A and B are shown apart, each in its own frame.
Chain A
Amino acid sequence: MTRHVMIVGCGRLGATAATALLDRGDRVTILDTDAENFRRLRPRVRLSMYVGDGTSHEVLRRTGIESVGAFIAATGRDTTNALAAQSARTTFGIEHVVCRINDPTRSEMYERLGLTTVNPNQLLIELVLNAMEQL
């Protein structure tokens, strides 16, 4: 089943997620405030790239948020991600929203508020701890 996913932030996480989703056959719309960051992606048929602020409702609307089925907030800033993700969920009613939160003390709060958060640092720490137990 082809999904349409919107990603805010074309850093390493956003770009890698976009590539993985495209490889699975999904459609991807990706936003970043800096066009330079799109160098991480090569042009693909089902990929749309826009320069714009993913916390602006006007930008989200113009780039087609109303037709996506899932939303990923993947910039390097927790506050930006939290605003973008909560806009997607509350203002635009997107059902599947994932939000990158680096600060573990905040991600716990967002989880309580019903946001699905991903903490790359936490994941890495768990992997390192697991690896150490194998030693």
Chain B
Amino acid sequence: MYVIVVGAGKIGFYLTRELLAASHEVALIERDAYVSATAAEEFGSILITSDGTEPTVLGEAGAERCDILISTTGQDATNLTACQVAKYSFNVAKTMAVVTDPDHVPLFRALGVDVTISTTELILSHVEEELTGGPFVHVLPLRGAASGIVSMRVPSGSPVVGQPVSRIKLPQGTLLTAVIHKSGELKPAVNDPELAADDAIVAITPPEKEDELWHALTGEARR
């Protein structure tokens, strides 16, 4: 795939490195000359020192044949503009934006950003998990769907411990896809594995069914 990454800060830098390692073709655009100089040492000619929100710059970077544009700067306004220019001036099939202000997430979706990565929400959900030993980790909101991928741990006192997956009364519209044993072993739900304490489950669920799913897996009301 051909990927354009806007912003060579921490996220853009390591993302580009991973994409190249996975044999993707990448162009990395960074406006700041100082940041760009550091990245140039690692990436050489794929680095473009310019403003990734400008149509001429994206055009020169080959946006017409780009499969996905990912905007990773710390500025929500910049990330939105880069994605909109890519989508509406160059018909880029997929656009992704890092979003700092969680309030902007629904707006960005409505304005043509296919995938939003809210760093704040991601960190917060992990903090919640660490602190309380268990609510949902929102792994990924699904594009265009009202559902998201969530993960949670089955507590030891749960009524579902020892039960096969098929016996769990899941809320409507929720799909339990896999169970991950604490050893790390992945058990697909189609094999109907038996749940053990501290197993993690991965499910697809609409946000309004999260409380019900929590109840089904813990026997308790969600705090």
Q: Which residues of A contact B (CB under 8 A)?
A: 55-58, 77-80, 82-83, 86-87, 90-91, 103, 105-106, 109, 112-113
Contacts and interface: CB of A to CB of B under 8 A. Distances in A.
Nearest to A81: B77
Contacts of B77: 55, 77, 79-80, 82-83
A83 B89 contact: no
Given A91-B107, A109-B55, A113-B84, 14 more contacts: A55-B77, A56-B101, A56-B103, A57-B101, A57-B104, A77-B77, A79-B81, A86-B107, A87-B107, A90-B107, A103-B55, A106-B54, A109-B88, A109-B89
B111 A109 contact: no
A75 to B, nearest CB: 10
B110 interface: yes
A23 B89 CA distance: 39
A15 to B, nearest CB: 21
A77 B53 CA distance: 11
Closest 4 CB pairs of A and B: A79-B77, A83-B77, A57-B103, A105-B55
B76 interface: yes
Contact of B84 (A77, A82, A87): A82
Contacts of B107: 57, 86-87, 90-91
Interface of B: 53-56, 75-78, 80-81, 84-85, 88-89, 101, 103-104, 106-107, 110-111
Contact of B81 (A58, A82, A87, A112): A82
A109 B106 CA distance: 21
Contacts of B80: 79, 82-83, 86
Given A90-B110, A105-B55, A55 B76 contact: yes
A83 B76 contact: yes
Main secondary structure of the interface of B (DSSP, over half): helix
A76 B42 CA distance: 34
Contacts of B76: 55, 83
A58 B53 CA distance: 25
A86 B77 CA distance: 11
A106 B104 CA distance: 21
Contact of B111 (A78, A79, A90, A106): A90
Given A86-B107, A86-B111, A106 B78 contact: no
B60 to A, nearest CB: 12
Pick from B55, B77, B89, B104 the residue with the most CB of A within 10 Å. B77
Contacts of B110: 90
A103 B84 CA distance: 14
A79 B107 CA distance: 15
Contacts of B89: 105, 109
B81 to A, nearest CB: 4
27 contacts: A55-B101, A56-B101, A57-B101, A58-B103, A77-B77, A79-B53, A79-B77, A79-B78, A82-B77, A82-B84, A83-B76, A83-B80, A86-B107, A87-B107, A90-B107, A90-B110, A90-B111, A91-B106, A106-B54, A106-B55, A106-B85, A109-B55, A109-B85, A112-B88, A113-B84, A113-B88, A113-B111
Nearest to B75: A79
A118 B22 CA distance: 43
B84 A109 contact: yes
B54 A103 contact: yes
